[in-house]
Chains A and B, each alone.
Chain A
């Protein structure tokens, strides 16, 4: 009778079910506590700090003493370096489509039973699992003007001196993008490989019967059915791409952000403000703005998902 009136009656659970529920909650508690401690609390703390000019001293009292409302945000809008680094960060995002295209091509190439394909897959994936700092140091030497691998090769092959990979305002961005593409290629390849192998062969066979050529098969079967993978890669690399920091710190001399600050990203600027100038409040404001930007872009992506991401069913 009660259910007909729309009232929800509490179903009595058996003792076994209650025990299971308790265990379930316990399992969930671990990552939940982790999230609260290491994600939610720092986010709230960062937001509160962004309302102050805190320099790290005197704990909470120090923060309260230096409360300044939204001054930091107002200052940010007229901060030339903030906009410069925002632009540089956006330019670095160009590496994402480049990485995806190359990754897809490699994945298609490796999606056959050729001998040594396992070795190839491992080779491509090693940069991904390597320490970012270590490979950045390595590449800093590869790009070295006089002694680097690249310029040595160029000199041997053509007799000309190679360009100043890390010393030219425009070229350093290209060098960084090349590095970032190289580092992330493995992930794209593995994911696209998995995606490719999930496409039922029957589709290709049907297309062949209909007389489709390679490009048509690619455009009408492969690409659409890979769109979930593309979507995933796009979202995650965008989120990560906005937070590029280590490469800039390691590959520019003395961590100076490049000639005329040309290689510096937002997080690099944030780091300098926080840990070199001790302006933690201002840095937190930068962090909050960055979080909002990433959030909006991700939201935008998810909204667009309905339009272009197709699944097999």
Chain B
């Protein structure tokens, strides 16, 4: 009897251990997804405001329709405070329609990898994120549903124009044709300044109506960069810029660009506007010393330093507002301002967006469309997400009528806590004579490999002064071009089907 028991146990162990045979490879925890927003939110992943959503915040939310037979899966990436808000909206949805919703959230780093796994398994969630750069491939591969039948024309007309262009596709060209996504948001990467630090240093606040020129910006930064505790080392800096996200603001305002108009050539080598802008960006660190050094940046990133009150100017995305207003996370007064302007005289920055898509294989298209409408265009839903009912703003509303109307008023009267000069955000989203927000060039290419080549070629040497921007551009362009060529080949092969 004992022998049999032992043999049975051995057999079980053997059977189970064959499944452990996958052996050494411990899969890496983080993967970087390809979409715009994900790269920006990665930086701010580690610290987010802990916002709890009061139940009353979704009181006015109601969705018509009986979807009690629907069983939906929603899969998105979100920071903790965003997740809480979406959960409250989903709870209201299930309450008023009777549908069953499984809500799955992951980090923006892992999103691309997990969606890939879903695709390989052939088991897509009913609702998931698709960024503007991924619309064409998702439609071509048959993964997402056109939404024209589920959203009214007047709703679409009320969306920011940049959004509708981003998510339209007619099978050949982006920007026209059926609408495939409803936007989660249209975000912009504005510039913020630490008012408390300005007060202490006795420096005048930036005026949003008159963005700084590059010379003025350096001067202001220099007046803020100092050794506060007298130990001989600088511990307060004018600004801190993460190249991956902030370089664009400097390049575009100077009239520069990475690629040519039809996205077939990398044109940075020898391009004066680009090189001047990149050199100025690097000079802030190595020549004027108004940012932490490259080494200091690896020790503690700019975002953490900003939260700690060490930085005068820092980037502020529309998704950051809630966190920056939370006194536990950022205990300083702050306001919004323009990125400094280069030779064009127009302050430019990157806009971003990600959209809710409905799986082409969903069994409940009506319910799914109703849910994403709640997230995206429903007025009451927007009141929740924009911070009117929760007191923490996650985004600017997607519908212009609400954004330019009540939303602005609620900021003005303080219902929605916001940094000063909220009009900067609108300026970048709509574009004015002094402000413009654009989607970065990786949005329009088949993949971002050419941009990754720029990032992995050793740009840090330009930042610490060992190399000039011109030399770096000359050195890295061939690899970038090869990657771009490869991407265009794949694009041609893919659309050839």
Interface residues, chain A, with chain B CB atoms under 8 Å away:
26-27, 30-31, 33-35, 38-39, 53, 55-59, 62, 65-66, 68, 75, 80-81, 131-133, 144-148, 164, 166-167, 169, 240, 243, 245-246, 249-250, 253-257, 259-261, 264, 271-272, 275-279
Contact = CB atoms under 8 A, between A and B. Distances in A.
Contact of B31 (A31, A39, A167, A276): A276
B30 A249 contact: yes
Given A30-B11, A34-B18, A278 B34 contact: yes
B109 to A, nearest CB: 8
B18 A33 contact: yes
A170 B360 CA distance: 50
Interface string B274-299: 00000000000000000000111011
A56 B31 contact: no
B182 to A, nearest CB: 22
Interface of B: 10-11, 14-15, 17-19, 21-22, 24-26, 28-34, 42, 112-113, 116, 119-120, 122, 137, 141-143, 244, 294-296, 298-301, 447-449, 452, 455-458, 460-461, 479, 486, 490, 493-494, 497
Contact of B119 (A56, A80, A131, A169): A56
A259 B120 contact: no
A259 B26 contact: no
A144 B119 CA distance: 38
Contacts of A164: 295, 298
Contact of A167 (B11, B26, B295): B295
Contacts of A276: 31-34, 112, 452
Contact of A271 (B31, B452, B457): B31
A146 B300 contact: yes
Nearest to B448: A277
Q: Which 6 A-B pairs have the closest CB atoms?
A: A34-B18, A260-B458, A146-B299, A57-B141, A145-B299, A249-B28
B486 A75 contact: yes
Contacts of A26: 11
Given A38-B22, A259-B458, A278 B31 contact: no
B24 A30 contact: no
Contacts of A62: 141
B28 A257 contact: no
10 contacts: A30-B14, A34-B19, A59-B120, A132-B26, A147-B300, A243-B24, A245-B25, A249-B30, A250-B29, A279-B447
A262 B141 CA distance: 36
A31 B449 contact: no
Contacts of B141: 57-58, 62
A256 B14 CA distance: 40
A27 B119 contact: no
A35 B23 CA distance: 12
B120 A27 contact: no
Nearest to A65: B497
A166 B460 CA distance: 13
Contacts of B486: 75
Contacts of A260: 456-458, 460-461
A66 B493 contact: yes
Contacts of A167: 294-295, 298, 460
Contacts of B448: 277
Contacts of B493: 53, 66, 68
B447 A278 contact: yes
A80 B479 contact: yes
A246 B300 contact: no
A271 B26 CA distance: 12
A33 B14 CA distance: 11
A163 to B, nearest CB: 9
Contacts of A145: 295-296, 298-299
B497 to A, nearest CB: 5
Contacts of B244: 254
B18 A35 contact: yes
Contacts of B122: 59
B447 A277 contact: yes
Nearest to B110: A275
B314 to A, nearest CB: 17
**Best-surrounded residue of B19, B137, B479 (most CB of chain A within 10 A):** B19
A35 B21 contact: yes
A133 B26 CA distance: 8
A279 B491 CA distance: 12
Contacts of B31: 271, 275-276
Contacts of B34: 276-278
A254 B42 contact: yes
Nearest to B28: A249
